[in-house]
Structure 1
Amino acid sequence: MTTAEGNTPDFTINVNWGYFGAGSAVMPGRGRPTGNNGLMEVYLNGTTYWHGVPTDVWEYTLGGYQVLKKWLSYRETAVLGRSLKPEEAREFMHIARRIASLLVLNEALDRNYRLI
């Protein structure tokens, strides 16, 4: 977790990761991911962001959904009704690490699956 100018992290998510659509369904928004050279900065708000999220981890989909983006959409402050707790912010990092591990194992997992 990185903050602008070394400030204390602000766990308010307010850069349009998610919003209520028709029938109170939570819809993913655009959020604020930025990146280059294979690494992303994923913003919670104007001052706090995760730095160095690998692009392939950020873009990983499961069941047609971009996993990390979907996770953030349900935690937008306007949707959740509160800011994230520090342990919830850590969970984002744990999920990103799990996805990275899956991506490393992907070829071996596919190879083993074909042997079944």
Structure 2
Amino acid sequence: MSRSPEERDYAEGELPLPEWGERTGDLFINENVCYANVPTLVMRHELGGYAVLKKWLGYRHVDDRGGAPLTLAEARHFRSMIQRLAALLALGPALDAAYERSAACAFTFEKAGLASAPHASAADREHMRRIGEQKRLVEDTPVPGSLGEVFDRMHAIDESLGGRTNRQSGSRVEGDAGSKIGPSRKPDTRRGDA
């Protein structure tokens, strides 16, 4: 990216949503070409501590590609990323509300009448007991104001129940089944990690 995004107010024909913030901008990918009307909050949206759009463009910088510009397919993909991030931000309040509704409607193993079922293993019963405890903890706390608060709360609940979530990386402690899902180091076959 050869120029910084140029922030500006929304123009008359541009229909902003409150979730996109009060300003927009034009995101230049070279001296002459830009993506117009990219809301500032979309430009700055972070996942894992990195601005998504900036990171994606950074891996495709013209200097690292021998002077080659973005291909048409890459430009289209980047446009779809902008649109998807804008949609994600627009859906934020609805996602928060859906989470609250689903948490309020959740039921425990006991409420489903499965706690004493002969086919339920001890591990199943323990798992459902923990889910019941998590539900009670969620019910006793105020409604979160954002998805970030939801995830923070999920980590706190997991830790209070003896979970081993690593808050910095969001991944599970090595050896836990969850560590195979998230980003982590490659298995070292010499140590038997395969």
Asked if Structure 1 and Structure 2 have the same fold, meaning a TM-score greater than 0.5 normalized by the shorter chain, the answer is yes
**Alpha-carbon distance between aligned partners in 2 of 1:54 and 1:103, rounded to the nearest angstrom:** 10
- Compute the displacement of 1:111 (Å): 2.4
RMSD: 1.5
Structure 1 residues 80 and 113: CA distance shift in structure 2, 3 A: farther
Query: 1:47 pairs with 29, 32, 39, which one?
Result: 32
> Equivalent residue for 2:72?
86
TM-score, with normalisation over the residues of structure 1? Answer: 0.68
Higher relative contact order, chain-length normalized (CA < 8 Å, sep 6+): 1
**Alpha-carbon distance between aligned partners in 2 of 1:47 and 1:96, rounded to the nearest angstrom:** 19
- Compute the displacement of 1:62 (Å): 1.0
1:35 partnered with 2:7? yes
Identity %, equivalent residues: 38
> Equivalent residue for 2:94?
108
- Compute the displacement of 1:75 (Å): 0.8
> Any idea what the Cα deviations from partners look like across 1:24-44, whole Å, max 9, x if unmatched?
xxxxxxx52111111111111
* Larger strand proportion of the pair: 1
Letter in 2 for 1:46: E
- Compute the displacement of 1:80 (Å): 3.2
Q: Say how many residue pairs are matched.
A: 88
The unaligned stretches of length 5 or more in structure 1 are: 1-12, 16-30
> Equivalent residue for 1:97?
83
Q: Which is greater in Rg?
A: 2
TM-score, with normalisation over the residues of structure 2? Answer: 0.42
Letter in 1 for 2:45: Y
Contact 1:74/1:80 (8 A) holds in 2 = no
The unaligned stretches of length 5 or more in structure 2 are: 10-22, 104-194
> Equivalent residue for 1:58?
43
> Equivalent residue for 2:118?
none
